[in-house]
A and B are shown apart, each in its own frame.
Chain A
């Protein structure tokens, strides 16, 4: 490596509410290189990039641009230094024209204050031309493909004379040929001396396009170097780490009869030809990266999404589930991910959140009985160790782990034979995590059939009897929980490997 990198971050420390997120992390990006920033969810990538972008201030450490120390106090300073951030969700306004998006917030105006439309169009056209694309600057953005929207973001970065572009998982919403176009573009940017920090999970892509890499794990720098000398396996190992506990919670209890059978389930653009069976007492895991379609798959099975085809049998009977209520009647419960948006009713009390899916249990002659609800809640409070002083307070005052336990109690009260957990330990602390794992295992031992979705492979290995790996809407591999290892799962989840024969 040369001695004058374009951008250096040195010994960055950052913690939120006393929880360290970054520990002594350094990052060096050369002029005109594509640098991969890798790590699992929660490894600290976004925090590091937010520090570079001036969104967060580091507790310790410093940032150098062209060898000079810069204090990134706010996003504006970062932009002035030539750093652009292209987020995973694109920040383009669909109802504006291309040139209007390009100049949003920095429109060219004449002395009176009117917009110089022609000049903006011309400049837009010029920048697009350097990128080798031909878009009418007056086209509405909503009429363009996703890849073009990405182009607009990149063009915007170039227009602002950016010298370092951060791309956060830019390929998740792109089709294959669009990905290739993006890579060509990245290479030509590189030629013109622009540096790129490329955040992605997809090792295959990284291998094709990146020059060097940095891997973070649990907020620490665990590896950095040139891409050429590494192969995807070693990088996966770095990301995952070896020191993870392999202790499994789940025991090999005997399974009961098949309770759920799914055949050829397909939903255009979300998931394709999904087949699996689920037995009583089994814990079945589904894992993969963001955008692999597993959440959509189970939202469909739960009746939240209606546009899918294929067969679902429960206890041998063909069922058509097009509303969550029907799923409940068929015996399926669903603890969704993103608790705040999907699971808790923040204006209702803790008790009322618990009883919401099974109000019939608390009624007598058509009226609700508060004391029945109270008694029942007391039972779950003890059984699940829910820490709450006064269950009449609204649920949003509880910690994440306790909220999740209330949501689980809600579905236990509904008493379904099948329970689906989507990312059940999202945003909750370690202690509560263990308790939830334990509860899931206990449920299976009681004969319930459980499905667990998670992007965290170690979690899936810990608590599942068998594991399905999904990639772009398809099940690409199936492992036995005992023999699965994280690296192999990652290879299938990132698409770098695929089981040759069609499974299922």
Chain B
């Protein structure tokens, strides 16, 4: 009854101040990245070393690939806690398939299949079973880890096929292959989210699920698609993880990857409740986490304290984004 319609949008931001605040709200994570980058360069001269830079990229590539999927899940208004466990499960099964078949391709394909199937199950639980994503993927987290442990009898499994380690341990020009895969996945997810109807639907559903449904969008299928997508990205990450040391541990591989991936997405400015956020933001979120880890190692910060710094950064990032 009270007339509270928003005023007509007619005045464009024109003053320098409002332009700056627009810049900040749109690109705060990039600005933060630049600040941290410059600060790191000043604090430690070794940081700028090209090898160190490439090393950072290599270290973030696995989390980075997962974080891209996590961005999509969180844009849809959900969350996926099972990524670390599914990575271990996909890794263990793919190594078994690799050793049994002797074919690298079969190994890769198996990892992708296991990852996307686990994701598909998550999607089914969330979309059709109407279970909160937090709960559904929490269940998957426990379940997938347990099956991985059972299959590997609690230990590690190692590849016995020559050439499998080449995936993670060879370069193209100056870049390691995992870095290239990471950047390629970032580009792919970017295109999916901004150039296809699937991406548009994910944003719509995360922003207002009811309105999306009433706009004749197959909300259930989109949700299943979102979890299957992150599942297959986890499968790719599993291949890289396994190939790096030619082995995967059923107990420790992938542990806490979900936290790092979620942290990267949050730092990248994606809203927890969905509907708003950017793939590019997550890319810089991943890089910020990578630089922080790297700097703490370079400056000999106790590994026990590194979690504290990371936690602090996440909270600061969210506090700043609240100001919108």
CA distance A398 to B5 in the complex (A): 8
Q: Does A264 contact B (CB under 8 A)?
A: no
Q: Does B197 contact A (CB under 8 A)?
A: yes
A368 near B216 (CB under 8 angstroms)? Answer: no
Q: Closest residue of chain A to B11, judged by CB? A: A389
B9 near A366 (CB under 8 angstroms)? Answer: no
CA distance A398 to B8 in the complex (A): 6
B213 near A367 (CB under 8 angstroms)? Answer: no
Chain B residues 1 to 41 lying within 8 A of chain A, measured CB to CB, are 1-10, 12
Q: Does A16 contact B (CB under 8 A)?
A: yes
Q: Closest residue of chain A to B271, judged by CB? A: A347
Q: Does B319 contact A (CB under 8 A)?
A: no
B10 near A389 (CB under 8 angstroms)? Answer: yes
A347 near B275 (CB under 8 angstroms)? Answer: yes
B4 near A17 (CB under 8 angstroms)? Answer: yes
A347 near B276 (CB under 8 angstroms)? Answer: yes
Given A366-B196, A396-B6, check contact A345 B276 (CB 8 Å): no
Binds B, one of A186-194, A278-286, A323-331, A446-454: A323-331
CA distance A341 to B215 in the complex (A): 12
- Contact-residue size bin, chain B (C-beta under 8 Å from the other chain): 20 to 34
A414 near B216 (CB under 8 angstroms)? Answer: yes
A304 near B213 (CB under 8 angstroms)? Answer: yes
Instruction: Report A-chain residues with C-beta under 8 Å of the C-beta of B7.
Output: 399
Instruction: Report A-chain residues with C-beta under 8 Å of the C-beta of B10.
Output: 389
Q: Closest residue of chain A to B8, judged by CB? A: A399
B9 near A343 (CB under 8 angstroms)? Answer: no
Closest chain B CB from A321 CB (angstroms): 11
A324 near B213 (CB under 8 angstroms)? Answer: yes
CA distance A388 to B8 in the complex (A): 8
Given A16-B2, A345-B211, A399-B8, check contact A352 B218 (CB 8 Å): no
Give the interface centre of B7, B191, B200 by most chain A CB atoms within 10 Å. B200
A398 near B216 (CB under 8 angstroms)? Answer: no
Closest chain A CB from B215 CB (angstroms): 5
Closest chain A CB from B54 CB (angstroms): 32
Q: Does B195 contact A (CB under 8 A)?
A: yes
B218 near A325 (CB under 8 angstroms)? Answer: yes
B197 near A352 (CB under 8 angstroms)? Answer: no
Closest chain A CB from B216 CB (angstroms): 4
CA distance A41 to B1 in the complex (A): 8
Q: Does B252 contact A (CB under 8 A)?
A: no
B207 near A398 (CB under 8 angstroms)? Answer: no
A356 near B217 (CB under 8 angstroms)? Answer: yes
| Contact of B5 (CB < 8 Å), options: A323, A388, A410, A429 | A429
Interface string of A326-363 (1 = CB under 8 A from B): 01100000101000011111111000100111011001
Q: Does A428 contact B (CB under 8 A)?
A: yes
Q: Does B79 contact A (CB under 8 A)?
A: no
Instruction: Report A-chain residues with C-beta under 8 Å of the C-beta of B297.
Output: none
Q: Closest residue of chain A to B75, judged by CB? A: A347
CA distance A105 to B299 in the complex (A): 54
A352 near B200 (CB under 8 angstroms)? Answer: yes
Q: Does B255 contact A (CB under 8 A)?
A: no
Q: Closest residue of chain A to B207, judged by CB? A: A347
Q: Closest residue of chain A to B213, judged by CB? A: A324
Q: Does B204 contact A (CB under 8 A)?
A: yes
CA distance A100 to B245 in the complex (A): 61
CA distance A323 to B7 in the complex (A): 35
Given A341-B211, A344-B211, A367-B196, check contact A357 B5 (CB 8 Å): no
Closest chain B CB from A26 CB (angstroms): 20
B200 near A356 (CB under 8 angstroms)? Answer: yes
Give the interface centre of B4, B195, B204, B216 by most chain A CB atoms within 10 Å. B216
CA distance A393 to B7 in the complex (A): 14
Instruction: Report B-chain residues with C-beta under 8 Å of the C-beta of A348.
Output: 200, 203-204, 207
CA distance A327 to B214 in the complex (A): 10
Give the interface centre of B10, B203, B214 by most chain A CB atoms within 10 Å. B214
Instruction: Report B-chain residues with C-beta under 8 Å of the C-beta of A398.
Output: 6, 8-9
Binds B, one of A1-9, A42-50, A154-162, A250-258: A42-50
| Contact of B208 (CB < 8 Å), options: A334, A345, A357 | A345
Binding site for B on A (CB under 8 A): 16-17, 19, 21, 41-42, 44, 46-47, 302, 304, 323-325, 327-328, 334, 336, 341-348, 352, 355-357, 359-360, 363, 366-368, 387-390, 393, 396-402, 410, 414, 427-429
Contacts A/B (CB < 8 Å), 18 sampled:
A17-B2, A17-B4, A19-B3, A324-B215, A342-B211, A343-B211, A344-B208, A344-B211, A345-B211, A346-B207, A346-B208, A355-B200, A359-B197, A359-B201, A363-B197, A367-B191, A396-B6, A400-B6
Binding site for A on B (CB under 8 A): 1-10, 12, 191, 195-197, 200-201, 203-204, 206-208, 210-218, 275-276
Can you add 7 more A-B contacts, CB < 8 Å, to A357-B217, A393-B9? Answer: A44-B1, A324-B216, A325-B216, A357-B216, A359-B200, A389-B12, A398-B6
